[in-house]
Chain A
Amino acid sequence: MSSAATRSPFVESQLAAPASPLPGAGVPWLDAARREHLAAFAEAGLPTKHVEAWKYTALRALAQRKFSTGDAQAAARAIDASAFALPGVDGPVLAFVNGVFRADLSQLAQLPDGLELRPMSQALREDPEPLRFTLSRYEPEKGDVFVRLNAALAGDGVLLKVVAGAKVAAPVHLLFIGAPAEGDVAWHLRHVIELGEGSELSLVEHHAASGDQRHLGTTCTDIVLREGAVLHHAAFQDAAPGAALIRRTKLHLGARSHATVHVVELGAALARHDLQAELVGNEARFDTRGVFLLHAKQHGDTQLAIRQQALNTTTDSVWRGVADERARGVFRGAVLVEPGADGSDCNVQNKNLLLSEQAEIDTKPELVIYADEVKAVHGATVGQLDERALFYLQSRGIPQAQARGVLTAAFCRTVLDDLPNAELRAYLGDRLVAQLPA
């Protein structure tokens, strides 16, 4: 609860009028929804450590900072798009700078058959009505004020749809660039993605920076997989070292659909990712592979929350964390197998490596099972490199620092083993290695 007198500087700064009018402003139902969300955000304020979901991620420092509500110059900032090309990712590109769509950096000509892709800002200006249900709805999630903030202030994002039966071969590149501005900017993006029945899509979510800045970005992504749809989603978080990035990705999996999500987290001072999945259709499958590599005073927090709600569903989650120097990592892997989800399997594995005495990683697998005939496996470890392996490499002539690098890289790369895009896999592997201490 906060009144005007007790609001934090952060909350106060977000109540200012947007730097430029939000797309869709003037649409009565949207204005009303945004007002309601903003009021709820102002009322709640930022969560404290007493809120379970934020127990290990303190927002005290963030609460004391002020951010401008958007970047009025975002559309005009000079950016070299070629710097953000990814090997093996040669399909359509939808690019945003400080939360604003940039047609000049995007590649939307000649979209593959069956793929509908456009920025939400365009839809809100041209024909907002079809988005009414999606943007008005709020699912109360305890403590999730960032979803409120995002709903109040997001004016742009990705609207993507694959029509039933379409198989989109070329990976779609969703590019989010943070660019230095006159001050610290808060930007918000809302993505709505739908894969029709039996369709296939490969998606690359890419957070990058064109220079250091301390912006705050929030994203809310909803992904729906209809029956039999197949999604390969790779998320590469390479934001500026000073940036704060708070993401919520929510997947909804229909019968026999299969989503595979690979996550590589390298950047940002504060990176929080809530990755949520609901397996609502029989035989749905959800695989996640992720790694966070933290150094300096980085704080990385991944909250995986899976609900298996239908018969014979399968989820498999393999995560690695590495923290060096004074970094702090948090991983929560929660799986709920609901009544009726009989015959389901779930696996959550999280191994972590501490490379310095000051680094810390908190990991917490949580499996709750209410169904029958369920096979559930989980494991979580935090430790140092295997001394026997280290000596083995050294005894073969590999200097200790290099040997540590080889072992740490192998530890991280495991999560990329089954990434089908070989060029992207090699690139991400190299980026992981490059970020390891020399």
Chain B
Amino acid sequence: MLKIENLHARVAGKEILKGLTLAVNAGEVHAIMGPNGAGKSTLGNVLAGRPGYEVTAGSVEFNGVNILELPPEERAAAGVFLALQYPVEIPGVNNTYFLRTALNAQRKARGENELDSMAFLKTVREKLKIMQISDDLLKRAVNEGFSGGEKKRNEIFQMALLEPKLAILDETDSGLDIDALKQVSQGVNALRSPERSFLVITHYQRLLDYITPDFVHVLADGKIVESGDRTLALKLEEHGYAWVKEHEAGVVGEPA
């Protein structure tokens, strides 16, 4: 589904990704972990097409299409979704209107018919039930005055509604208390399916107690330096990121 090869990317003239290679198959959940500054968020933003993130080498194929050539909206219509680390407040734009505009824009781009307000509201209600979100959130302006937890839940709610093929969660756990973390994780788990893949970017292994990954990758200095199953996350938790660097450099062996 997603094939990243030798990806190099710059932000503000500084090279952040330095040859990242990763393959994600349909239905898989991959966790990307790594120390601050490793390039985790850059990866998410590059995949979603955020302006200012300049790809200097490498390729990203999504279902056989080179998505690096596409503007963000076309990537979204193709099925890429980025849950932002810092969801943006948009005063004056009603959440429901925003969601309907987004969903219909994607449907239009895919040649599907647009949903009228009745059909849209029906879909929204179904998704609200899954996410355990009150519809009060829908009446307000996008993220305006939302608590940190509400913002993150709104991201996952958007994901539920837009039904992407690849969902990238950029530190969705940051700033959440344990209850909010559980709610967000439940939402994500409810959306797991054999057709949908996830890239879960996180600094802490805590989130992975609730969202069980198929694979864990360690990103350091712009490259994946270690890959494994979920036990890798537990090792990191135990030994910290310093271990990865030392391990890379061949200073110490595999911890027991």
User: Does A400 belong to the interface (CB within 8 Å)?
Assistant: yes
**Interface residue from A387, A389, A395, A407 paired with B48 (Cβ < 8 Å):** A395
Contact mask for chain B residues 47-89; partner A; CB cutoff 8 A; 1 contact, 0 none: 0111100000000000000000001110111000110100110
B73 lies within 8 A of A392 (CB): no
Question: Closest Cβ of chain A: how far from B71's Cβ, in Å?
Answer: 7
Main secondary structure of the interface of A (DSSP, over half): helix
Q: Does B102 contact A (CB under 8 A)?
A: yes
**Shortest distance in angstroms between A101's beta carbon and chain B's nearest beta carbon?**
40
Q: Are B162 and A397 in contact (CB under 8 A)?
A: yes
Residue B96 CB within 8 A of the other chain: no
Chain B residues with Cβ below 8 Å from A395 are 48-50, 72-73, 75-76, 81-82, 84
Task: Number of B interface residues at 8 Å Cβ cutoff, please give it.
Answer: 28
- Across the interface, do B92 and A410 meet the contact criterion of CB distance under 8 Å? yes
List of A residues within 8 angstroms of B76 by Cβ: 394-397
Please name all residues of chain A whose beta carbon is closer than 8 Å to the beta carbon of B77 when the two chains form the complex: 397
Interface contact A410-B90, CB-CB below 8 Å:
yes
Given A402-B101, A402-B105, CB of A396 within 8 Å of CB of B92: no
Instruction: Pick the residue among B72, B84, B92, B103 that contacts A394 (CB under 8 A).
Output: B72
Q: Mark B100-113, 1 if CB is under 8 A from A, else 0.
A: 01110110010000
> Is A249 close to B, CB under 8 A?
no
Q: Whole-angstrom distance between the alpha carbons of A51 and B82 in the complex?
A: 54
Q: Tell me which of A386, A388, A395, A413 has the highest count of chain B C-beta atoms within 10 A of its own C-beta.
A: A395
In the complex, are the beta carbons of A407 and B93 less than 8 A apart? yes
Q: Is there an interface contact between A396 and B93, defined as CB atoms closer than 8 Å? A: no
Which residue from chain B places its CB closest to the CB of A399 in the assembled complex?
A: B73
The reply to whether B98 and A394 form a contact with Cβ atoms under 8 Å apart is no
The interface size of chain A toward B, counting residues with CB under 8 Å, comes to 23
B158 sits at the interface (CB 8 A): yes
A398 interface hit (Cβ, 8 Å): yes
Per the bound structure, the CA–CA distance linking A82 and B71 in Å amounts to 45
User: CB of B91 within 8 A of chain A?
Assistant: yes
**Once the chains are docked, how many angstroms separate the CA of A403 from the CA of B106?**
13
**Residues of chain B with a CB closer than 8 A to A400's CB:** 71, 73
* Chain B neighbourhood of A407, CB < 8 A: 90, 93
Question: Among residues 383 to 420 in chain A, which have CB atoms less than 8 Å away from a CB atom of chain B?
Answer: 386-389, 391-400, 402-403, 406-407, 409-411, 413-414
CA distance A409 to B101 in the complex (A): 14
Nearest-CB distance from B72 to chain A (Å)?
4
Q: Are B158 and A392 in contact (CB under 8 A)?
A: no
Q: How far is the CA of A410 from the CA of B97 in the complex (A)?
A: 11
Chain A residues in the interface with B (C-beta under 8 A): 386-389, 391-400, 402-403, 406-407, 409-411, 413-414
The 4 tightest CB contacts between A and B, nearest first, are: A410-B92, A397-B76, A397-B106, A396-B102
Which of B's residues lie within 8 Å of A, judged by CB?
48-51, 71-73, 75-77, 81-82, 84, 87-88, 90-93, 98, 101-103, 105-106, 109, 158, 162
Given contacts A400-B71, A406-B93, 15 further A-B contacts (CB under 8 A): A386-B88, A389-B88, A392-B88, A393-B90, A393-B98, A393-B102, A394-B72, A395-B50, A398-B102, A398-B105, A402-B105, A410-B91, A410-B93, A413-B92, A414-B91
A-B contact pairs, 9 of them (CB 8 A): A393-B90, A394-B71, A395-B73, A397-B77, A399-B73, A399-B105, A399-B109, A402-B105, A410-B90
